[in-house]
Amino acid sequence: MLKKRILAVAAVAAMAIGTFAGTYFSGTHAEAGSTYNHNHGKVKNVIFLIPDGFSASYATNYRWFKGKESQMDEILVGMHRTYSADSEVTDSAAAGTAMATGVKTNNGMISTSPDGKELKTILETVEEKGKSTGLVATSTITHATPAVFASHVASRADEASIAPQLLENGVDVILGGGKKYFPDSLIANAKKDGYRYISSRDELKGAAKSNKLIGLFADDALAPSLDRDETKEPTLAEMTDTAINVLKKDKDGFFLMVEGSQIDWAGHDHDAAWAMNDIAAFEEALAKALAFAKKDGHTLVVVAGDHDTGGMSVGGYGVYDANVEILRNVTATGDYMVTKLDASRSNVKAVVKEYTGLDLTDAEIKTVQTASKPDMAINEIVSERARVGWTSTVHTGVDVPLYAFGPGSDLFHGLHENTDLPVLMAKAMKIKFDGK
């Protein structure tokens, strides 16, 4: 009798878990779920958002940092594998190429196969179908991830060759950093081709009236979100909103890629506060995409980091605890704090106190004063206080969460190769695409 009761309880529990899992992973979890997200309806537009360097550890720490579930949590559908053609650990060029072309390549290569063949991208394919296209990033717009969607070079370092290709490939909206890669002659030719050129946040506010738009807001990358107030640069959400408003005028639809570029850079620097704040900025951009998708009814939103950076952990340093809320008080990146140190670094304690609220010990002060990379030293002290661990200063090869919302989101359920993503986007739009 007892055995039968145990089996009955187990059966009920299994049914409950199955019901929950089916609800959660079908994209109906929390507020994001709606009849619309049951994958009915034609996919006219795709918005592909890439939080560079973002993995499950970043997602978990961000949830603690925010104090509640993120909008990413609400649309989780699966995971994807990130290795490149020549390594278990990818770089952004190879990962981006896989997500843009559906083909694995070697680290460092931009939409080019290991044997040097140019690979057709999902952006180029939808352009051939008459759709408008856009690229938005907080890095230089010629950096690896945005570059893979509309250029082909053997080395990601060749940003000067990438810039003209973005225009030659007819990308309708280009927003980010990288003025230094767009000489006056290139901008002049773009204007002749109908592009409006802007270079400040104020100009962006009225730019949605344009049909073709280039916005370059810094010579190099834009400032981290923590340091953005020191500039006249727009936020990722503002650029995303403008891009959507320009592209949505096309009756045939559009493809837009939005990258939160500097989550990755924060990971390389072990700057947990920078990472959390740039994830917050990315989530604001995602909110713009989801709001449009819910209203439009024919837009698929896909979110996928390209790889993990830094091997971040939740908790660490020999203690069963995490104090991520400490990061809420940090108001500048480690990079910025270093610019406030005097020549002898005698003011370390005061500077760190001003921008983090933390009182450094004598040993911690000495560590920063003698470090070859004082920014990294500050970041690791802050991380230790927050119990955010790090295992690497480069990328790692772990699987990365995959999120999707809207018609076609069911295609992304489960564990995928990163090469599956553009193929599935094309399938959702009923466009033939194999990337070769």
Q: What confidence tens digit (pLDDT) does each residue in 141-163 have?
A: 999 999 999 999 999 999 999 99
Mean pLDDT on 286-296: 98
Is 80 known as a binding-site position? no
% residues pLDDT > 90 (the chain): 88
The CATH classification number of 42-312+397-428 equals 3.40.720.10
Domain parsing of the chain, residue ranges: 42-312+397-428, 324-386
pLDDT tens-digit series, residues 232-275: 899 999 999 999 999 999 999 999 999 999 999 999 999 999 99
pLDDT at 38 over 90: no
Tokens 């439009």, residue? 296
Q: Is 416 annotated as a binding residue?
A: no
Catalytic residues: 92
Mean pLDDT of the chain: 92
Distance CA 69, CA 395 (A): 26
Cα 410 to the center of its chain, rounded Å: 21
* 396 contacts 390 by C-beta, under 8 angstroms: no
Tell me what pLDDT residue 26 has. Answer: 38
Q: Is the pLDDT of residue 24 over 80?
A: no
Residue 12 vs residue 348, higher pLDDT = 348
pLDDT in tens, 309-357: 999 999 988 889 999 999 999 999 999 999 999 999 999 999 999 999 9
Q: Residue 231 annotated as binding?
A: no
Question: Is 270 annotated as contributing to ligand binding?
Answer: no
Which residues, including other chains, have CB under 8 Å from residue 435's CB and lie 6 or more apart?
Answer: 101, 102, 103, 119, 120, 121, 122, 419, 422, 423
Whether residue 52 is annotated as binding a ligand: the answer is: yes
Expressed in angstroms, the distance from the first to the final Cα of the chain is: 62
Reported as a pLDDT band with limits 50, 70 and 90, residue 3 is very low
pTM: 0.91
